[in-house]
């Protein structure tokens, strides 16, 4: 049922852009640690369909400097190993031969059974197996292989490492998931709860036995191994989220990923998601199902599409500014959920598998990027910083997602009324109608990113701008507002919305009130050069509060408005396949780019490094005296649960 609809107009105030106050200028000079820490929650290794060993993937992602055999490390602060469910035939203590790592070749479990490798001995492929077993179920590799590697690497790197899962969802495609309860890699702990979730609810895990006790009886009884597709599969997926909410409401999450890729929901198969499925998930798991992840696979863009791993059958027909249409479209599916006041936030990760035709140490890629190389998901720094901090930060909405190091780890995006303090992403500002809202943003644009290319961005050359690909630049920030009209109850009109694969899916409007309320060009921001070469940019602007709730979110890009084949006249990203209509003419353009008539096209990693965006989660606003938004109520639920639950692992690893 709709809540009463009252429009809150976030009226644009006049000309406060570029007029950063004295207080803001003083803030720029204040030394303080970066308020956010970067991580990745979706990546693969040879336990499923990745190209490198579990240990190698972690090492390259969280170590600093250069790997022993070559290749840059990416120094992430936290890392969640988010590998597929199901089964795998390869031993992920070894990399695939295709990764071209010295001395490392593909090994299968059948080749290594009984051997002690890296301190881990696998003596048996457990669970339901054919007469000649070849594959290890993922619940076993989570417990017995990946988690021990997490323990090992935690001691080595002193970073926060988490055993997660890319859940192959019944009735749908994929979802990032983690259950951290029991994990305590510094004190050892275990990933049994994560493994149990995978066993019970992964569509590709149809093992009927799971782990057994000393009498050979299954420990995890009651598995539904039947309802894995369509509507029944969706209900099983909802049951999985309820299982998380019931058992681990603060120590788990389920965040659908590349959610446009498989097209619209198929009631008879396992394809994508419609808005009602996200609503079902959030309803079933108010503190665990709190968002969507953008696609990874950012170096896969070819002349026929493929950036993000999206074909033309994806909802929207592909990616837009390296995001799916659910999040990239103004008034799209994400805005539909925010328009209910839901706690539904967006995140980005790498979906690292391989570098396509290249080996793991090469700097070029026609496939994916290593975690931290291109995508960074920022969550708030806490002291101490631990696995629980990652989930708490994600759940709070106080997080943001960056491609190509367009901005750094010190975003400030906050708002306040004429009374009271600042509210940041995920929080709700309560104001009187007519009250002036001051919104402040500060960002740092790093001196360089991880691009191996120093030639000028070919997309920007079209508009006469010379900007090396390895030097990020910010063109503008969009402040996007939408009205909140209340939570729609299941079964009510508008709860389920017809969806469509392909470009038809891009025309669906879920929240027609959403607009780019302000577009702040870099030239209108206050700029300060930092000692280490980065550029600190800031602006302050104002809105006038209206009579009903609303939200303000932000995105930024290096691409000017109306850049041919990249952005439209409002600055919205076009379908990324259009980038391949631009040629890469610099003599340094690499040889792996797609060609037409011997002209190299902006494709693969060059496309990714050319077309950079960041997304900041929303700040909510509501009138004083109005009912609390769902985002507030669910945040309060999390606080109540935190008051009644013992935090996970007092001695779990902290970032040092």
Partner 1 sequence: MRPLQRLIVVPACLLLGGTVTPCKAGTDLSRAEPTKEECFSALEKARTLAATLPTGHLSRIFAESHLHQAMIEANNGEFDECLEWSERATVEVNELKHTLQPGETLKMLRPDEEPRR
Which residue from 365, 378, 376 is spatially nearest to 412, judged by alpha carbons?
378
**Residues 80 and 178: beta-carbon distance below 8 Å:** yes
Give me 647's structure tokens.
């935090």
Which of residues 330 and 594 has its CB atom nearest to partner 1 in the complex?
Answer: 594
CB of 332 to partner 1, least distance (A): 25
Which of residues 329 and 600 has its CB atom nearest to partner 1 in the complex?
Answer: 600
CB of 423 to partner 1, least distance (A): 43
Residue with tokens 């902290």: 654
Which of residues 27 and 49 has its CB atom nearest to partner 1 in the complex?
Answer: 49
Which of residues 106 and 436 has its CB atom nearest to partner 1 in the complex?
Answer: 106
CB of 579 to partner 1, least distance (A): 15
CB of 343 to partner 1, least distance (A): 31
- Work out whether strand 78-81 and strand 36-40 pair parallel, antiparallel, or are unpaired: parallel
Residue with tokens 């030639």: 455
Which residue from 39, 7, 10 is spatially nearest to 544, judged by alpha carbons?
10
Which of residues 70 and 647 has its CB atom nearest to partner 1 in the complex?
Answer: 70
Residue with tokens 């390869």: 90
Which of residues 66 and 116 has its CB atom nearest to partner 1 in the complex?
Answer: 66
CB of 239 to partner 1, least distance (A): 12
Which of residues 107 and 376 has its CB atom nearest to partner 1 in the complex?
Answer: 107
**Residues 529 and 13: beta-carbon distance below 8 Å:** no
**Residues 560 and 465: beta-carbon distance below 8 Å:** yes
**Residues 269 and 169: beta-carbon distance below 8 Å:** no
- Torsion sign across C-alpha atoms 83, 85, 91, 93: positive
Instruction: Determine whether 250 is exposed, middle or buried from the number of CB atoms within 10 Å of its CB (0-12, 13-18, 19+).
Output: buried
CB of 208 to partner 1, least distance (A): 4
Which of residues 80 and 354 has its CB atom nearest to partner 1 in the complex?
Answer: 354
Which of residues 70 and 119 has its CB atom nearest to partner 1 in the complex?
Answer: 70
> 3-class secondary structure for 383-416?
CCCCHHHHHHHHHHCCCEEEECCCCCCCCEEEEE
Which residue from 475, 259, 281 is spatially nearest to 347, judged by alpha carbons?
259
State the CB neighbour count (10 A cutoff) for residue 489. Answer: 14
- Torsion sign across C-alpha atoms 226, 230, 236, 240: positive
Which of residues 305 and 556 has its CB atom nearest to partner 1 in the complex?
Answer: 305
Which of residues 362 and 586 has its CB atom nearest to partner 1 in the complex?
Answer: 362
Instruction: Determine whether 206 is exposed, middle or buried from the number of CB atoms within 10 Å of its CB (0-12, 13-18, 19+).
Output: middle
CB of 260 to partner 1, least distance (A): 15
Residue 643, classed as helix, strand or coil, is helix
- Measured CA to CA, the distance from residue 49 to residue 41 in angstroms comes to 16
Which of residues 90 and 423 has its CB atom nearest to partner 1 in the complex?
Answer: 90
Give me 502's structure tokens.
């392909």
CB of 598 to partner 1, least distance (A): 7
CB of 55 to partner 1, least distance (A): 18
- Measured CA to CA, the distance from residue 415 to residue 428 in angstroms comes to 9
CB of 150 to partner 1, least distance (A): 21
CB of 474 to partner 1, least distance (A): 30
Residue 637 CB contacts under 8 Å (≥ 6 apart), including other chains: 286, 287
State the CB neighbour count (10 A cutoff) for residue 66. Answer: 11
**Residues 500 and 562: beta-carbon distance below 8 Å:** no
H-helix or E-strand spanning residue 470: none
CB of 361 to partner 1, least distance (A): 5
CB of 352 to partner 1, least distance (A): 13
Helix orientation angle between 230-247 and 192-201, rounded to the nearest 10 degrees: 160
CB of 92 to partner 1, least distance (A): 12
Which of residues 42 and 361 has its CB atom nearest to partner 1 in the complex?
Answer: 361
CB of 132 to partner 1, least distance (A): 7
Which of residues 250 and 608 has its CB atom nearest to partner 1 in the complex?
Answer: 608
CB of 64 to partner 1, least distance (A): 16
Using CA atoms, how far residue 119 sits from 37, 56, 102, in Å, is 31, 16, 21
Length of the chain: 656
Which of residues 101 and 292 has its CB atom nearest to partner 1 in the complex?
Answer: 101
Residue with tokens 């009602």: 276
Listing DSSP states for 336-368 in one string gives HHHTTT---EEE----B--BTTB-TT-S--SS-
Helix orientation angle between 147-157 and 54-62, rounded to the nearest 10 degrees: 30
Helix orientation angle between 230-247 and 275-284, rounded to the nearest 10 degrees: 30
**Residues 187 and 193: beta-carbon distance below 8 Å:** no
Using CA atoms, how far residue 231 sits from 75, 223, 267, in Å, is 42, 18, 5
Which of residues 101 and 506 has its CB atom nearest to partner 1 in the complex?
Answer: 101
């Amino acid at each position: 049922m709709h809540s009463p609809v009252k429009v809150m107009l976030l009226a644009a105030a006049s000309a406060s852009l570029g007029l950063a106050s004295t207080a803001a200028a003083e803030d720029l000079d204040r030394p303080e640690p970066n308020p956010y820490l970067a991580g990745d929650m979706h990546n693969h290794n040879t336990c499923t369909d990745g190209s490198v060993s579990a240990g190698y993937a972690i090492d390259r992602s969280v170590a600093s400097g250069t790997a022993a055999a070559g290749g840059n490390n990416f120094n992430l602060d936290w890392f969640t190993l988010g590998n597929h469910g199901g089964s795998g035939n390869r031993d992920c203590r070894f990399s695939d031969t295709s990764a071209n790592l010295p001395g490392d070749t593909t090994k299968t479990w059948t080749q290594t059974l009984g051997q002690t490798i890296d301190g881990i001995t696998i003596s048996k492929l457990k669970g339901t197996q054919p007469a000649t077993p070849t594959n290890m179920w993922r619940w076993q590799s989570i417990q017995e292989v990946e988690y021990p590697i997490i323990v090992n690497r935690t001691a080595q790197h002193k970073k926060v490492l988490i055993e997660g899962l890319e859940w192959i969802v019944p009735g749908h495609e994929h979802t990032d998931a983690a259950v951290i309860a029991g994990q305590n890699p510094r004190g050892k702990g275990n990933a049994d709860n994560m493994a149990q979730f995978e066993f019970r609810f992964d569509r590709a895990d149809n093992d009927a036995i799971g782990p057994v006790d000393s009498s050979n009886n299954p420990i995890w009884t009651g598995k539904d191994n039947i309802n894995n597709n369509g509507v029944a599969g969706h209900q099983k997926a909802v049951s999985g989220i309820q299982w998380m909410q019931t058992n681990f409401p603060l120590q788990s999450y389920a965040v659908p990923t590349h959610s446009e890729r498989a097209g619209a929901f198929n009631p008879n198969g396992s394809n994508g998601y419609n808005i009602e499925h996200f609503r079902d998930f959030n309803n079933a798991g108010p503190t665990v199902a709190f968002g969507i992840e953008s696609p990874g696979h950012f170096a896969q863009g070819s002349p026929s599409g493929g950036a993000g791993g999206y074909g033309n059958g994806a909802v929207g027909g592909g990616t837009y500014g390296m995001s799916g249409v659910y999040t990239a479209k103004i008034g799209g599916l994400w805005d539909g959920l925010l328009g209910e006041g839901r706690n539904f936030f967006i995140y980005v990760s790498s979906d690292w598998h391989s570098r396509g035709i290249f080996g793991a140490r090469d700097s070029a890629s026609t496939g994916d990027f290593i975690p931290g190389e291109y995508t960074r998901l920022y969550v708030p720094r806490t002291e101490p910083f631990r696995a629980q901090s990652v989930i708490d930060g994600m759940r709070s909405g106080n997080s943001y997602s960056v491609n190509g190091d367009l901005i750094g780890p010190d975003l400030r995006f906050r708002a306040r009324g004429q009374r009271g303090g600042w509210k940041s992403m995920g929080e709700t500002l309560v104001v009187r109608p007519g009250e002036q809202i001051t919104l402040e943003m500060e960002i740092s644009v790093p001196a360089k990113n991880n691009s191996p290319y120093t030639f000028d961005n070919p997309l920007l050359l079209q508009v006469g701008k010379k900007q090396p690909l390895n030097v990020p630049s910010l063109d503008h920030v969009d402040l996007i507002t939408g009205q909140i009209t209340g939570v729609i109850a299941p079964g009510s009109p508008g709860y389920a919305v017809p969806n469509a694969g392909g470009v038809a899916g891009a025309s669906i409007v879920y929240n027609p009130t959403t607009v780019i309320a302000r577009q702040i060009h870099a030239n209108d921001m206050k700029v300060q050069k930092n000692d280490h070469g980065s550029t600190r940019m800031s602006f302050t602007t104002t809105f006038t509060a209206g009579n009903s709730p609303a939200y303000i979110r932000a995105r930024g890009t290096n691409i000017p408005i109306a850049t041919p084949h990249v952005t439209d006249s409002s600055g919205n990203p076009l379908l990324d396949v259009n980038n391949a209509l631009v040629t890469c003419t610099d003599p340094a353009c690499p040889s792996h780019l797609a060609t037409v008539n011997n002209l190299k096209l902006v494709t693969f990693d060059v496309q990714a490094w050319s077309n950079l965006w960041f997304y900041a989660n929303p700040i909510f606003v509501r009138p004083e005296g109005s009912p609390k938004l769902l985002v507030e109520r669910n945040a309060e639920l999390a606080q109540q649960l935190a008051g009644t639950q013992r935090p996970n692992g007092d001695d779990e690893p902290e970032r040092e």
